[in-house]
With several copies, the nearest count.
Chain A
Amino acid sequence: MSSPKSHQNNLRPFYANHSAEHLKKALRRMHLVRKFEETAEDSYVRGLTHGTMHLSIGQEASAIGTTMALRKTDYITSTHRGHGHCIGKGAEVKYMFAEFFGKEEGYCHGRGGSMHIADPESGNLGANGIVGGGLPIAVGAALAIKQQKRDDVAVCFFGDGASNEGAFHESLNMAAIWKLPVIFVCENNGYGMSVSTDRSTSVPNVADRAPGYNMPGVIVDGNNIADVVEAMMVATARARKGEGPTLLECKTYRTRGHSRSDRNKYRSKQEIEEWKLRDPIPQFVNELIAYGIIDAAEATAIEQSVDVEIKAGFDFAVAGTNPTPDSLTRDVYARELV
């Protein structure tokens, strides 16, 4: 990148349209996602938690960049790899940790766990254990938005693998014919579990399918937050104006395994290492420094403040209350009938 200082006047939209505070908050959230997951992974390895977990380490620019463009009243539907979306939409890590530890203080009172952590208050309609499960739900939320004459949007996260589910097809078609305010964000990390997109998918890019639904298909570098946010600015503006949905594909990579049981037999160490060099967080830090928005000291300060928040959140969770067996059926129905 040629020294940005030289042309402060024609800064790219991402920098031109966001305050330093806003940009720093984005960086801080990327750290939060990263450190939340590293800490979660660590407690899992130490046997402090059970179940499984899907880490988005390496994908933070996509999660934070997409949600940065949203209001509280906008909705998201998230996935099994949803910690970043959850934080991006405004959730606090302490309640996420508490959920992860299965405590009553958790966002889901310990009912949901890693795969289902979500804060409905912040417009997160839920993570999902079913690949593609959130696609039509986002369409329905957008339908409600339209019926209620609001100018909010629904952002639907899904993976490259999910794009081969029938739900993808039905959802994009409905969103298109009804011109709904949905942004379909495909976080293409190259694999659906162990199967690479070229083995599972008939087209090189998921966005290549957008014309089949008569909607714009946009491809961005999902590890570059500026690219992600700028594409989102266009897509959300279009949606809020009632011009319909967009399919946005963020090319990214998960540097961790698919889940805890993954032995990475389907990809090479080298591929993983190459992508680690494109880690979205240092990329963003360097750009912020290059643009003179922060200096190295502030970068460290931000990271440290995140460490503090993570530590506090972790401690809060560990000290949380375990659900009692008699509360098992408490949250099944809004209106109990027997």
Chain B
Amino acid sequence: MRELSFAQALGEALAQAMESDPRVFIMGEDIGTYGGAFGVTGDLVHRFGEDRVIDTPISELGAAGAAVGAALAGSRPILEFQFSDFAGLAIEQIVNQAAKIRFMLGGKTSVPVVFRMPTGSGTGAAAQHSQSLEAWYGHVPGLKVIQPSTPYDAKGMLLAAIEDPDPVLIFEHKLLYKMKGHVPEEQYLVPIGKAAVLREGKDATIVGSAIMVHKALEAAEILSAEGIDIEVIDLRSIRPIDKATIITSVKKTTRLAVVYEGVKTLGIGAEISALIAESEAFDYLDAPIIRLGGAESPIPYSPILERAAVPQVENIVEALRNLVQSRA
């Protein structure tokens, strides 16, 4: 079984997409000779040349607009933001242009652009380099927003994003880049909009995404030793959200916890909780829906504080223990 790191899986998706489709090209800051801040683009500039692997000036708004324009003119651009935090400078083009152009033109064009968004804390890079703002983009009709948690999904979801006719943002958690896992050599698509049940259980459901999926699985292992049987769902897609999979699970387990790194308030957990609270699964709930989200603060530099700012395995274990023990 061939193993690749999450970063290598993304790089392979980019290479294969460029090989099989001449319209595809990538742009971003330091993605050429440097190989990308996180090494995703590696040596692609040597394989595909500077016309298809473009180092942009430090001009996020301009680069995003250029990607939108290239997509409108028949190319298939993939723009890497060095950190998703910097996409804020380009959000006008992502949200007011890419997401709306098709609609404003009555469906006569589409904007097949992919924005790559390195995300999350845990690297000691502090408040302006550690945010998880996927919830923002999930709030915007016209966009598709995905978040892989394994090397296998990283490749398949990025290829699906490149193949998709609409603008797609792929959130890549920085702590996952080095994670290794099985990745098939050939091209394959992991469909956008489908969650995955990674662990079956009957006592409670955890919905998580990106790095939190792995923490949830760890927590589930620990809890199973206590005889608590947790079902773990990898959300994978934030827009659209796979409502059906979550509802089915909650109807079975009757308890739900959502675990995410973004700030708790108005984060993705809010939407998942609300989806259940307004769904037919509501009647099956035997306990309040709990959310473990990021702290209500910017991400701090101090490792001690940084760790305290996002949910950790022990927090999940404790919260789920209480949730399951709470009265039926």
Contacts and interface: CB of A to CB of B under 8 A. Distances in A.
Contacts of A131: 58
B279 interface: no
Interface string A126-144: 1011111101111111111
A73 to B, nearest CB: 10
Contacts of B37: 261
Given A130-B86, A328-B308, A118 B105 contact: yes
Contact of A108 (B59, B104, B297): B104
Contacts of A170: 57, 59, 61-63, 65
Contact of A107 (B60, B106, B296, B303): B106
A130 B72 contact: no
A98 B93 CA distance: 28
Given A113-B126, A194-B34, A333-B166, A108 B106 contact: yes
Interface string B234-250: 00000010010000000
B105 A195 contact: no
Nearest to B33: A266
Interface size band for B:
35 or more
Contacts of A128: 97, 128
Given A110-B305, A136-B65, A125 B72 contact: yes
Contacts of B71: 140
Contact of A111 (B69, B110, B243, B305): B305
Which secondary structure dominates where chain B touches chain A?
Answer: loop
Contacts of B57: 161, 164, 170, 173-174, 177, 192, 195, 200-201
B68 A136 contact: yes
Given A108-B106, A133-B65, A173-B57, A144 B70 contact: yes
A111 B125 CA distance: 11
A51 B102 contact: no
Contacts of B308: 325, 328
Interface in A103-162: 103, 106-116, 118, 120-121, 125-126, 128-133, 135-148, 154, 161-162
B29 interface: yes
A198 to B, nearest CB: 11
Contacts, number: 287
Most central of B74, B103, B142 by chain A CB within 10 Å: B103
A46 interface: no
Interface in A275-332: 322-325, 327-332
Nearest to B37: A261
Contact of A338 (B105, B112, B129, B240): B240
B66 interface: yes
Interface size band for A:
35 or more
A5 interface: no
Interface in B1-60: 25, 29-30, 32-35, 37, 51-52, 55-60
A326 B308 CA distance: 8
A337 B193 contact: yes
Interface in A31-73: 49-52
A171 interface: yes
A199 interface: yes
B73 interface: yes
B144 A334 contact: no
A331 B103 contact: yes
Contacts of A143: 66, 69-70, 75
Interface of A: 49-52, 75, 77, 99, 102-103, 106-116, 118, 120-121, 125-126, 128-133, 135-148, 154, 161-162, 164-167, 170-171, 173-174, 177, 192-195, 199-201, 261-262, 265-266, 322-325, 327-335, 337-338
Q: Top 4 closest A-B pairs, CB basis?
A: A136-B65, A140-B69, A51-B124, A113-B301
Given A112-B301, A171-B62, 5 more contacts: A103-B302, A120-B105, A140-B73, A140-B77, A141-B73
